[in-house]
Amino acid sequence: MSDEQSRETAGALTDLQRSRIDFARRDLDYARSEDLAQLPTAGHILMIERLRNRLDDMLALLDEVTSPPKN
């Protein structure tokens, strides 16, 4: 996808959709910066669940954005 196409799609997003993307980016940044070797087992489970839920939400967001408009 070209930068021009991504800008067009970004312009079509609602504030709520942009917030959902921002939360997903924050969760991913947090997971990347965390020292996984220092996390207890419960911390790993919580991180995986958070990322799994964010992935599910991002796939739902893609469906929202790419689905044909309802009449």
DSSP state of 36: G
Instruction: Quote the percentage of the chain above a pLDDT of 90.
Output: 73
Whether residue 46 is predicted with pLDDT greater than 90 in this model: the reply is yes
Tell me the per-residue pLDDT of 4-37, one tens digit each, with 9 for 90 and over: 555 555 568 999 999 999 999 999 999 999 998 9
Q: Which residues contact 27 (CB under 8 A, 6 or more apart)?
A: 50, 51, 54
Residue from 29, 22, 15, 8 nearest 57 by CA: 22
Instruction: Answer yes or no: pTM beyond 0.95.
Output: no
DSSP 35: -
